[in-house]
Structure 1
Amino acid sequence: HELKTPLTSIRLVAETLQTRLEPPTRDWVERLLRETIRLSNLVQDLLDLNQLQAQPTARLNLKPVDLTRLIQSSWVSLEPLARKKHIQLDYVGPEQLIIQADEARMHRVLLNLLDNSVKYSPAQQCIRVQLGIISSDQSAAMHQVHLQIIDAGPGFPENSLPLVFERFYRADPSRTRNVTGMSSASVTLTNSMAPEPSSKSRFQEESEFAQPNSGSGLGLAIARQIVEAHQGTVTAGNHPDTGGAWLQLFLPWQPEELSECSS
C-alpha cells in the first residue's frame, strides 16, 4: 500500500490535467500517465508474485474449468495486438477439456504465455497452440494435461533457458516488430509456421525502464508460480521445426475426468 497509494494519487492528478491542457503540454501529461499506469502494473505484479511465493495454494479457488475456453478467451484479450501484426492462432486440440483449476489465475497464465509469443513473433505468422492428455508413467495410471505454445520468433538463447522464468529476465523490446495492418487476427487450422531468419537473441537482462513500451519482466515468473501452485510445471525451449519459442505446460489430470474430455 505504501507504493500503490501515491501512484494512485499521481494517476488521478494526471488524468485530471489531461482533460484541461492543450497540446503539446497535454502530450507530456499523457506520457506521464502511461508510465504511471505501467509502474502501477509492475507494483501489482510484484505483490502478486510475492503472495504466490509465500502461500502458493492458500488463495486458489479450485473448480471445474474448461481449458479450451480459457485459451480462446485469452486470445481474444490479445487480439488487438495480434491483429496489428497479422498474427493468427492455430489451435489443435479437443473442443473441451475440463480441469480442476483457479479460473482467474489459470487465465492469467495463458495470457502471459500467449502475450510473450505474440510480442516476439514476426508479422504474418501463426502461433500454434496444441492441447492434449498424456500418460505420465508407464502404467498409464497417471495423466497430465499437456499444453504447447509454439511461435516462429527468434527463440531463446540456449544459455538463457534456465533464467526464462526468473524475475525481470525479459525480452529485449528493441527486437519486437511494429507492423500495423487492418487484417483480423483469427483462429485457423493452418500449419504454416515458417520462421523468419534472425540471429538476434530473445532475452537479455537489462534495466526495467530502458524502454517506454517494455513489459514488466514478471509475466513468465508469475505464470510459473501459478502453475506450480496447481502442482504442475512449465518449461521453455526452442521448437525444432520453427526455431521459435516452445513453451510447455504440464498439469495433473485425474483419469476419472476422461469422460469429460471430447476431441
Structure 2
Amino acid sequence: MHQFRARLTLIFITLIGASVLIAGLFMAQMLKNSHIEALQTSMERELRVILVTLDWTAGGSDEEQVRYFNEQANRLRSSADARITYIRADGKVLGDSDHDPVDMENHFSREEVVEARESGQAGTDIRYSTTLRQNMLYVAIPVTQGDQLQGYLRLAMSLAEVEAAIRQLWLVLLIGLLAVFIIAGLISYRVALGLTRPIEQITKVAGQITNMNYQARFHGRKQGEVGQLGQAINRMADSLQLQMNRILEDENRLKSVLENMISGVMMIDRDGKIALLNRSAEDILGFSAKELLGKKFDEAKQQFEFTQLIQECIESKELIRDEMIFYYPSERILEINLIPMSPAEDQWAGVLVVLHDITAMRRLERMRSEFVANVSHELKTPIAAVKGFAETLLAGALNDKETAKSFLQIIFDESERLNRLIGDILELSKIESKRIPLQFSPVHLQTFIENCLNVVNSEAAKKSIELEMRVDDDLYMEADEDRLRQILINLLSNGINYTPEGGKVKVKVEATTGSMGLDKEQIRMTITDTGMGIPKKDLPRIFERFYRVDKARSRSSGGTGLGLSIVKHLVELHKGTIRVESEVGMGSKFIIELPVIH
C-alpha cells in the first residue's frame, strides 16, 4: 500500500510537473520569438535609414570601393550598435564594420542574402558566427537602382541579450517549477493519503478476515465509493462470522458427539488412509489416534480379518455388517458396520467403520441362558424328589408308617427348598430390575447388629459356633434397614453354614474415610468366619447366580445358590461395594463399605 501511495503521488507530481514544464517551454519559446521579431523589425528600420544615407554609385576600382564602404561601415558602427556589412550583387563583401572584407568569404549563398534576393524583401537568418563566435541575427535587404540589383545591405546583431533573457526566464521557471514540485508533492501526498488510507484499512481488514479473524471491521469514512466498499467488507465479515460460528458450533457438536460415543468410529478416505478416529475407537483397537491417523488401513497393525473386511467393502462398495472376536488389547466381541461413503454420484469418498463392543451383551445373553438352565436344573431336583417319593408312597409305602413318615418329611423339606428357591429367584429378579424402592432412615448400628445376631443365634447354637460383635456405640448411618438386615443375615448364615462346630463368626463395624475413592465418611462392615475357606480360583465367581464352591454341601445345607448374588445387588443399591478375602482352611472375610449419608 505504501508503494501504491508513492506511485500515486509520483503520478500526480509527474502530471503537474509535465504541465508546468510544457507551459514553461511554450512561454520561453513565445518570449524568444517575440524578442527576435521585435529585434528583426528594429533592424529592418535601421537598414532602411542607412540605405537612404548610402551612396551606392560610388565608382572606382574594387580596392577603392572596399575602402569607401569599409569606412562607411565603421562610421555607422557606433550609432547602429550592430555589425554592418556591404555586399555586392555577386556576393563579394565590400565593407564590414567588424572584420576586414578582404579576408571574408563570398556571401552570395548566405541564407539571408538568398532570401532577400528571391523575395525582394528583407531576408533573415540566425546562426553561429565563426567570425564573432556567438549566435547572431542577420537581416539583409536588397539594394536596387531602378530594376537593377546593386547589392545587399546587411545588419547583424548578437542574440546574447536575448539568450541571457531566456536563460533568466529558464532560471525563474526552474525555481518556480521546483517550488511547484514541492507544493504539488505535498498536495499530491495528502490527496494520495486521503485516497489510499481507507483502501489500506480495507486491505488490512480483508487480510485479517483471510487469516480467520472474522471480528475485524472497517471503521473509516462511510461516504463515497471507498466508504461503500468498506461497508460491503463489513457486511461480508458479518456474514462470514455468522457462518463460521455456525460451522464451529456444528463442528463442536459433532466432535462432542464423536468423542462421547460409546461406539467406535473410524473413517477411511478415498486413498485408503485412516482420516478420523474417536476415543472409543482408540480404546477398542488398542492404538492411539497419533499412531493410526494418516496410515493406510492395511498398514495399521490391525487384525487380518478386520483388514480383509475393510478391503471387501472398498471393492464391493456395499454395506457390510459382521461380528468378530478381537484379541488385542483384550478379548472382546465386536459388531462391525462398514458403510461406503459416496456423497455424489460416481464419487468415492471412502468407508465409515462403526464398532460396537457387544461383549457384555453376549455375556449377558450367555448368563441368561445359563440362568435359565440353572433354574431349570435347580427346580428339577426338588420336583423330581417330590414326584419320586410321592410315587413310592402311592405304590404301597403308605402301609409302612415309619417309611411313609420319612418320605413325607423329605417331600416337605424339598417343597420348602423349592419355595425358598422360587422366592429367591423372584427377589433377585426384583432387585436386578430395580423395582425395589429403598426407604432410607437413620440406623443405630450397635442395636442393629445385636438384633441380626439374635436372629441367627439359635442356628449358631446348634453347632456351638461363637458369635462376636465389635461395634462402637455412637455409630449411625442412613440405610434401608430391612435390606441391610437381609444383607447381614445372609452373610452371617453363610458363615455359620460353612463353619464347622466350635468355630467362630465375628462382625466388626468401623467408620472409615475415602476408601471408596471418595472423601466422604463411610462405614465398613467385616464379617469373618473360621470355616473351610474359598479356593482362589472360585473367588472371582463367588457372587454369580447359582455358583457353588461345594455343590453337594450347599444343597445339603438348604442353600439356593442365590444368596451372595442378592447380597451384591443390595449392596450396590446402597451405593456401596463388597469384596471377599479367603484362604482354604483359614476361613473367609466379607468386607462391605457403605456411605454414611445418602
TM-score w.r.t. structure 2 length?
A: 0.32
Could you report, residue by residue, the CA deviation over 1:15-72 in whole angstroms, capped at 9, with x for unpaired residues? xxxxxx943312211211111111111111011111111116x421111122322222
Question: Using the alignment, how far apart are the partners of 2:583 and 2:481 within structure 1?
Answer: 28
Q: What secondary structure is seen at the aligned counterpart in 1 of 2:473?
A: coil
2:441 aligned residue: 63
The equivalent of 1:48 in structure 2 is 427
Post-superposition CA distance 1:181-222 (Å, at most 9, x none): xxxxxxxxxxxxxxxxxxxxxxxxxxx8xx444300111111
Q: Deviations over 1:126-179 (max 9, x none)?
A: 21211100011699841110010111112111111111111011242656xxxx
Sort the Cα spacing of 1:172 and 1:139 in 2 relative to 1 into closer, same or farther, 3 A: closer
1:111 paired with 2:489, answer yes
Please tell me the residue identity of whatever aligns with 2:562: L
Equivalent residue in structure 2 for 1:243, among 555, 561, 586 = 586
Q: Aligned partners of 1:23 and 1:124: how far apart in 2?
A: 33
Q: Which amino acid aligns with 2:558?
A: S
Residue segments in structure 1 that go unaligned for 5+ positions in a row:
15-20, 176-207, 256-263
Q: Distance in 1 between matches of 2:452 and 2:544?
A: 23
Structure 1 residue aligned with 2:595, among 249, 252, 261?
Answer: 252
| Residue of structure 1 equivalent to 2:566 | 222
Matched with 2:476 is: 98
Whether the 8 Å contact between 1:69 and 1:96 is mirrored in structure 2 is no
Flag structure 2 segments of 5+ consecutive residues without an equivalent: 1-378, 391-399
Specify the SS of the correspondent of 2:491: helix
After the TM superposition, which residues 131-142 of structure 1 pair with which residues of structure 2 at under 5 Å, given as runs? 131-136=509-514, 141-142=519-520
The structure showing larger relative contact order (alpha-carbon pairs under 8 Å, at least 6 residues apart) is 1
The total of aligned residue pairs comes to: 203
CA contact (8 A) 1:168 1:216 kept: yes
Greater radius of gyration (CA): 2
Partner of 2:407: 28
Match in the other structure for 2:576: 232
d(CA) in 1 for partners of 2:575, 2:518? 19
CA gap 1:173/1:97 in 2 versus in 1, 3 angstroms: farther
Cα distance between partner residues in 2 of 1:78 and 1:138? 30
Distance of 2:516 and 2:413 partners within structure 1? 52
| Cα-to-partner distance string for 1:202-247 (whole Å, 9 max, x where unaligned) | xxxxxx8xx444300111111111110010111111279x821010
Q: Quote the Cα distance in structure 1 between the aligned partners of 2:458 and 2:467.
A: 13
Provide the alpha-carbon RMSD of the alignment. Answer: 2.9
Identity %: 31
Contact 1:42 1:216 in 2 (8 A): yes
Deviations 1:94-123 (A, max 9, x none): 125322111111111000011111111122
Q: Give the residue type in structure 1 aligned to 2:589.
A: W
Partner Cα separation in structure 1 for residue 526 and residue 477 of structure 2: 16
Could you say if the C-alpha distance between residues 224 and 139 of structure 1 is closer, same or farther in structure 2, counting changes exceeding 3 Å?
A: closer
Q: Matches of 2:516 and 2:507 in 1, distance apart?
A: 26
For 2:463, the equivalent position in structure 1 comes to 85
Alignment partner of 1:149 is 2:527: yes
- Residue 125 of structure 1 and its aligned partner are, at CA, apart by 2.2
Measure the CA separation in 2 of the matches of 1:225 and 1:46: 13
The structure carrying a bigger helix percent of its residues is 2
1:60 partner letter: L
Q: In the alignment, residue 158 of structure 1 is paired with which amino acid?
A: K
For the structure 1 residues 137 and 104, does the alpha-carbon distance in structure 2 shift closer, same or farther, using more than 3 Å as the test? closer
